[in-house]
Amino acid sequence: MPAEWARHRGTWFSWPHNPGTWPGQLEGTERALARAVAALSQHEKVFINVLDARHALHVRDLLPAETVFPEVSFEIIPTNDAWCRDHGAIFVVAPDGELTALDFGFNAWGGKYPPFDLDDAVPPQMAQRLQLPVVSVDHILEGGSVDVNGAGALLTTRQCLLNPNRNPRRSRADIEALLGRYLGAERVFWLGDGIIGDDTDGHVDDITRFVAENRVITAMEPDPRDPNHRPLLENRALLETFRLADGRGLEVVELPMPDALCHEGERLPASYANFYIANDLVLVPVFGCDRDAEALTIIGSCFPDRRVLGIDCRDVVVGLGTLHCLSQQVPDIAPASSGP
């Protein structure tokens, strides 16, 4: 699986449409995503799953004038919800060098949000649109639960991948073998728990991300009274113990957590770590608090050759995810040669 910062053929979204996911915030969520699409369209192709032709017209009308419309493609692939990172195809380079779509099973984070039949059917449809081969994998896996460096290392959490609501008959060793076979993971780095309010059971893309082959950025909460303080501190300590295949340790960049955000009395999983790395661009969720500027500066220092753009995600995070959760990259892999 190529690293997210490798060149993209495009970015894929499933457009938000479920008012139950965003009670009172669906319009604001659409506006935020429209701004992200406009920025992305200036750097790469954008594919958007929509319900039907009428829905496509609705979304097109939301996109701002700076959108490069020839780079936006509307795909009629109905979904139950919008979390393309988790229900969409995961793209890898097969042993023959061909870009291939993996179709893992999807059960809405342990059966939490039925129905999810449309979401589970999305990956082969994405592959068909791109005219790519698809490999079905008899295993539940969401894209947000793993993060890779493109060179054989993979980050995940015990809270998610070892949760019995995903693959109860598979051991840790079984899962590591499967990640090696399908994603090319030679080293699986197991963190502990995710952040409070994360209904995915600890997706790693809210806490720790690779930003280079041997560098990670990790969320930290300095306030010992905050319930995120201890799990993030414990994950920070684990990062010091990990070694790449060549023996190198990881360089660790610390990233602040935003101020606590709540909706109807419930803590939301707001995190700057849910950024998305695109061609010459990094989209970062911001939350209207004092730590936004610091987070943008820190993430920008990790990507000096890319523009870093903050997208206000105060409405988006009500759905319990933000930019990385909504997106899925399609790597730009040249087709393998068929002859000399």
- Summarised one tens digit per residue, pLDDT across range 262-294 is 999 999 999 999 999 999 999 999 999 999 999
Active site residue: 84, 302, 313, 325, which one?
325
Mean pLDDT across the chain, nearest whole number?
Answer: 97
Tell me the pLDDT band of 333, cut-offs 50, 70 and 90: confident
Residue 183 CA: distances (Å) to CA of 2, 83, 201: 9, 20, 21
Residue 226, class by beta-carbon neighbours within 10 Å (0-12 exposed, 13-18 middle, 19+ buried)? middle
- Annotation marks residue 325 as catalytic: yes
| pLDDT score at 335 | 60
| pLDDT score at 183 | 98
| pLDDT score at 338 | 43
* CATH number for region 8-331: 3.75.10.10
Terminal CA-CA length for the chain: 26
State how far the Cα of 28 lies from the Cα of 148, in Å rounded to an integer: 31
State how far the Cα of 258 lies from the Cα of 108, in Å rounded to an integer: 26
| pLDDT score at 160 | 98
State how far the Cα of 309 lies from the Cα of 317, in Å rounded to an integer: 17
Please check whether residue 33 is in contact with residue 15, taking contact to mean a CB–CB distance below 8 angstroms: yes
Which residue, chain included where needed, has tokens 């419309």? Answer: 69
- Give 144-202 pLDDT, tens digit per residue: 999 999 999 999 999 999 999 999 999 999 999 999 999 999 999 999 999 999 999 99
Upper half-sphere CA count for residue 30 (Cβ side, 13 Å) = 19
State how far the Cα of 97 lies from the Cα of 116, in Å rounded to an integer: 32
- In percent, the amount of the chain with pLDDT more than 90 equals 98
